[in-house]
Amino acid sequence: MLQATPLTDGWILRHEGGALPAVVPGCVHTDLLAAGLIPDPFLGRNETDLAWVGRREWTYERDLAPVNGHEQTDLVFDGLDTVAEVLLDGRLLGRTRNMHRSYRFDVTGMSGRLAVRFVSAYAEAEAVRGKLGERPAAYAEPYQYLRKMACSFGWDWGPTLVTAGIWRPVRLERWSTARIARVRPLVTVEQGVGVVELAVEVERARVEAPLTVEATVGGVRVRAALDGTSGTVRLRVPDVRLWWPRGYGEQPLYEVELTLLHEDRPLDVWRRRVGFRTVELDRSADEHGSGFTFVLNGERLFARGVNWIPDDVFPSRITRERYRKRLGQAADAGVDLVRIWGGGIYESEDFYDACDELGLLVWQDFPFACAAYPEEQPLRGEVEAEARENVVRLMPHPSLVLWNGNNENLWGFRDWGWEARLAGDSWGEGYYLGVLPRVVAESDPTRPYTAGSPWSGSWAHHPNDPAHGTHHSWEVWNRLDYAGYRDDVPRFVAEFGWQAPPAYATLARALPGEELAADSPGVLHHQKADDGNGKLRRGLERHLAFPEGDFDRWHYLMQVNQARAVAAGIEHWRSHWPVCAGTVLWQLNDCWPVTSWAAVDGDGREKPLYHELRRLYADRLLTVQERAQGLVLAAVNQAGDPWAGVLRLRRMSVDGEVLGETGVGFGTERRAVAHVDVPRELEPVGPKEFLVVDVDGLRALHFPAPDREIPYPRAEFDVTVAPGAVTVTARTLVRDLLLQADRLHPDARADRGLLTLLPGERVTIGVRGWETPDADAARSALYFLEPSR
């Protein structure tokens, strides 16, 4: 039987100045940090002082003892970052140049000093650029010239910390006769019967040995002989329970086991969990253009999505528990789709296992982002090998529903001046429209493929045409107010978002000793977007007065504006289902403490946007929309049951007076939207009035004027506290009330975000991690909109 021995201990990291203990899996930065040789790059402006790390060569070493008892011994690396030579006692075993692949070396009968010598990623990238020529990119760093996590080189939300190291597990595998080299599982459903087809490839040590495979799933067992080095086993499982995305059903998972045998003696075992479901992507043309709608088990769905970036700039630090926590936060916010963005990595099995269990659909980008990528060697062969390995590796996961060729590169070619600069040089189109769809079609025909995001389906339309396929909405934020979201109805919004700083406690930890200000050195360093603070200011001033010199108000108002911006988009787009079939927020998470578009900051704290997302992505959403005929109420029902009731509409003054009131009945089918016209006499007029609509515990508000024009009363409210709770009772209109629990204690968390209370209303906010409740402290941590000055 194959025996695997992890090689986690005994490693050292050699560098120009000597040697230090190394942790494997890990990377150079984490080893230097553990040894106290570098400061924490996440604190202050330390990042800039560590640029030298990515320019050096590094060597990992350990002893490899002799092993016996099997015919063959392999040294297996699940991931090397990135360009390396692997040597044993000075003998070259092989060279690597791809972070996204695994590597296997035959070390049968060998022992001695194992060394993995890493070349600077910069040196390799610059050498490839010198050979193949310049290619344009969104950033100046040379990430497009090698197969490495692009955001190691920095992004508009990430630090430039160019890593090197043995970033995934390494082990010795000892085996005799034969081993399982690859299993490609095709999982389908045919008229209620689950079908698992296992295409098996083996590596032999003894060519003549007769081999069989035995597979089991769901109580079904099948045995088949192998002809040479490959074969196929097909199992049919009657009456299977379907796997559904969260909110649509349960997530049953079935254990699949395949055993390789020689004369009934087991040689190797492959085990995975699978789920039975069907997935289609409806891209058919209609009167609105051409769609982009996910269909799971025959059910059409509006995808409530978030974009995912690597959760740490040093991915080897991300544990199974951390994946589960972050993805659990996504599920708790109503998310049902996570897009793994193309500037990162193919995540570990722990990520996809968590998505399988939580019912989170996974959209997987191939790792290409915001650059023209050369298609010549050595990159072309690496791209195909990497794609074939990872497609097969991830195929068992029912959560995986889409392969996507790249992030923004087709759009970049058309709109960012690349075509003229390239002058006919290769730039990646052959990957996205050739290599990658071929690999997916050959290896995983059970899932759809799309060439890029955004992509309109063909060059017949602009790549980012909102009427066709996927759309990235970045005019809003970069140039336009968030009201611009309402100007069109894309078929599927794969990226959109608005920035805000991280939680106060996150900034305070990341910038020790700094007097925080919107433009203080550390705050500006932890803002990576081009003119990010300028865009924040201009975006706020369209609605609210800018709080000059008041960091606490600035911090609060930026959180308010982020939540409102995202709400403007999602409410508008959800109200247009089924024309618009999904929104994927940029972004769920951060990889360090930074001002960004994230809903969960780099320390794992939820921003107010996160809590707003829970409302926006709930099965049922009530929203007031401006249409040509006047105000319209949209009752969005993504639940599995019809929804009917009586809407309570109130036209109110900001002083709390009810100026008009009525009840209006409505009804909507499951997975549908009902639209109800607001009676003209209840439409608010001028800055002193607003509309309130309530039904079944849901509320929608409509203020017809910008906040800077609204004469809000000075907020008056009472505060009481109890263990785990802060209760606020309003005596006036209190607009966008926010308890910043982390100001009470860095570990404290509130269970709600922004709230608007009418006079006489009361709300209790749950608080975890605050052991000594104090009413005065609670009041000091409460923020709300104040009258314009």
Take residue 304 and report the two structure tokens written for it. Answer: 């409530």
- CA nearest 116: which of 5, 3, 7? 7
664 class by beta-carbon count within 10 Å (0-12 exposed, 13-18 middle, 19+ buried) = middle
Q: Please answer whether residues 277 and 297 qualify as being in contact, where contact means their C-beta atoms are separated by less than 8 angstroms.
A: yes
**Residue 224 pairs with which residues in a beta bridge?**
213
For the chain, report the end-to-end CA distance as a whole number of angstroms. Answer: 77
Q: What is the phi/psi pair of residue 401, to 5°? A: -125, -10
Amino acid sitting at position 636: V
| Residue whose pair of structure tokens reads 């059970």 in the numeric block | 446
In 3-state terms, what secondary structure has residue 85? strand
Which residues belong to the active site?
Answer: 408
Query: Kind of pairing, strands 83-88 and 178-190?
Result: unpaired
Take residue 532 and report the two structure tokens written for it. Answer: 């990010």
Q: What is the phi/psi pair of residue 496, to 5°? A: -170, 155
Contacts of 517 by beta carbon, 8 Å cutoff, 6+ apart:
523, 549, 551
The percent of the chain in helix, strand and coil, each rounded to the nearest 5, is 25, 35, 40
DSSP annotation of 371: B
Q: What is the rounded CA–CA span in Å between residue 29 and residue 17?
A: 15
Amino acid sitting at position 621: L
Question: Could you tell me where the DSSP H helices lie in 575-653?
Answer: 608-616
Long-range pairs of 220-224 with CB within 8 A, sequence gap ≥ 24: none
Q: What distances in angstroms separate CA 670 from CA 464, 564, 614, 644, one per listed residue?
A: 31, 27, 20, 10
Q: Please answer whether residues 154 and 139 qualify as being in contact, where contact means their C-beta atoms are separated by less than 8 angstroms.
A: yes
Length of the chain: 789
In 3-state terms, what secondary structure has residue 439? helix
Report, in angstroms and rounded to the nearest whole number, the Rg of the chain calculated over CA atoms: 28
**Residue 187 pairs with which residues in a beta bridge?**
196
Q: Please answer whether residues 146 and 152 qualify as being in contact, where contact means their C-beta atoms are separated by less than 8 angstroms.
A: no
Query: Kind of pairing, strands 672-677 and 630-637?
Result: antiparallel
Amino acid sitting at position 667: G
Amino acid sitting at position 327: L
Q: Please answer whether residues 47 and 99 qualify as being in contact, where contact means their C-beta atoms are separated by less than 8 angstroms.
A: no
Q: Please answer whether residues 378 and 97 qualify as being in contact, where contact means their C-beta atoms are separated by less than 8 angstroms.
A: yes
DSSP annotation of 50: G
Q: What is the rounded CA–CA span in Å between residue 482 and residue 540?
A: 10
Q: What distances in angstroms separate CA 108 from CA 10, 71, 169, 531, one per listed residue?
A: 21, 8, 20, 57
Q: Please answer whether residues 297 and 465 qualify as being in contact, where contact means their C-beta atoms are separated by less than 8 angstroms.
A: no
